[in-house]
Amino acid sequence: MTGMNEGWVYLNNAEAATPFSLCVIIFALLMIPGGKIQDKISPKFGATLGGLFLAVGCIIAGMMQSYTGLVIGFGIFGGIGMGIGYAAPTPAALKWFGPHRRGLIAGIVVGGYGGAALYIGPLAKYLISSFGITQSFVILGILFACVVVIAGQMLKIPPAGYVPPTIAGGNVATKGSTITNWEPSEIVKTWQFYALVLMFIFTTQSGLLIIANAAGLLAKTGAKIPFFAANAWLLVSYGGFVNAAGRVGTGFYSDKIGRLNAYCLNCGISALCLFALPYIIGSQSILLLFIAVGIAYWQYGGGLSLMPSFAADFYGPKNLGMNYGLIFIGWGLGFFMARLGGTIKDITGSLDNAFYISGALLVIAVILARLTKRPMYHGETAV
């Protein structure tokens, strides 16, 4: 490249995907020690450490001006920072509230992460055009450090003996919640833990299949409409908004109708949309495409508010950081569908079979969820 981006070289598709894929893997794995930091030290420390790792990673990626720099800076340091930092706010927030508010609170907290898609793309585009790739990475690193470290100082867990507020008579969410705080070593001995990991994989895989291909779907469906063909990013931005809204919205109604009902509702409707997508694309209906893709984004975002709530309901809030960190492995494993979708498209020329497979997995997810009830602690009886 020349000009402001002199020193940078163009990457092929495989090279461009590697730093991101590595970041995702490390992100998922670092949720476990990140959760332990949140539980044993403090969420403030975890958020600060995560923010600093992310900042250093961005600066390294920018200053090295190479593929290796992207792998080390964004892939490794960025993944560490995201994993440790992401593990801090949600468990800390949920410890302040009873089961009747867990879904909404989790949705609000993780909604901020999903909502970043609304601004980070336009911001990065502006920075790169104004300052070049290197300076953009450095600016973003400094920005992330300032925002995350400052905001992280506001995080804290309740004092010993704190009892979250409740509602008279309880509701569906409270009746499905444990009063026992399970240790991480105990939850892995229950079959429900592995069921939750699978449920996380299923809710993640379909959303990431759509996210990875959203722009292409609009470009193909709107091929005969020049505006949509030239502005395929519109579906991506719309999806980012619905993703964030789905986290808050799903969390809210999961407190009203129960986690399992909310999970099954989201997955069931999303499965129908995935089965219909090949026909929607063939009909070239922009309206139906936005509806179907929006539901898929909503379902994906909703899963990220439901799963920490499931973890707290099943295993208690005290060790939620590490317990949810273990369950979060399912999110990382859910990335297989984005890769599989690309392979299917290379072989068949379309994503149709990927949509059918993904929809079928969501149907399996509904069945699994219906069979999954919270575990009973030693001596505990079902209410």
Q: What is the mean predicted confidence (pLDDT) over 155-165?
A: 85
Task: Return the structure tokens found at 51.
Answer: 């923010």
Distance of alpha carbon 193 from alpha carbon 329, whole angstroms: 11
- Alpha helices in the chain, H assignment, sequence order: 13-40, 43-64, 67-70, 79-86, 89-94, 102-115, 117-152, 172-175, 184-187, 191-221, 226-230, 233-257, 259-283, 286-315, 320-327, 329-333, 336-348, 352-371
Q: Confidence band (pLDDT; 50, 70, 90) for 271?
A: very high
The domain 3-152 is classified under which CATH number: 1.20.1250.20, 1.10.10.10, 1.20.120.550, 1.50.10.10?
1.20.1250.20
Task: Return the structure tokens found at 229.
Answer: 């063909």
The answer on pLDDT for 167 being more than 80 is no
pTM here is 0.87
Contact 320/189 with Cβ under 8 angstroms?
Answer: no
R_g over Cα of the chain: 21
Q: Which is more confidently placed, 314 or 215?
A: 314
Distance of alpha carbon 163 from alpha carbon 240, whole angstroms: 36
Distance of alpha carbon 70 from alpha carbon 16, whole angstroms: 9
Q: Where are the domains of the chain?
A: 3-152, 172-371
CA distances from 225 to 60, 210, 211 (A): 42, 21, 22
Q: What is the mean predicted confidence (pLDDT) over 294-309?
A: 96
Q: What is the pLDDT of residue 65?
A: 86
Contact 23/54 with Cβ under 8 angstroms?
Answer: no
Is 172-371 the same fold as 3-152? yes
Q: What is the mean predicted confidence (pLDDT) over 137-163?
A: 90
What is the rounded average pLDDT for all residues in the chain? Answer: 89
Least confident of 96-110, 252-266, 360-374: 96-110
Give per-residue pLDDT as tens, 63-100. 998 889 999 999 999 999 999 999 999 888 988 888 88
The answer on pLDDT for 284 being more than 80 is yes
According to the per-residue pLDDT averaged within each range, which of 110-124, 209-223, 297-311, 339-353 is highest? 297-311
Exposed, middle or buried: residue 226 (CB in 10 Å: 0-12, 13-18, 19+)? exposed
Please state which CATH number belongs to domain 172-371: 1.20.1250.20
Q: Confidence band (pLDDT; 50, 70, 90) for 266?
A: very high
The answer on pLDDT for 308 being more than 90 is yes
**Using alpha carbons only, what angle is made at residue 74 by residues 107 and 117, rounded to the nearest 5 degrees?**
35
Distance of alpha carbon 173 from alpha carbon 261, whole angstroms: 10
Closest to 310 measured CA to CA, from 202, 192, 215: 192
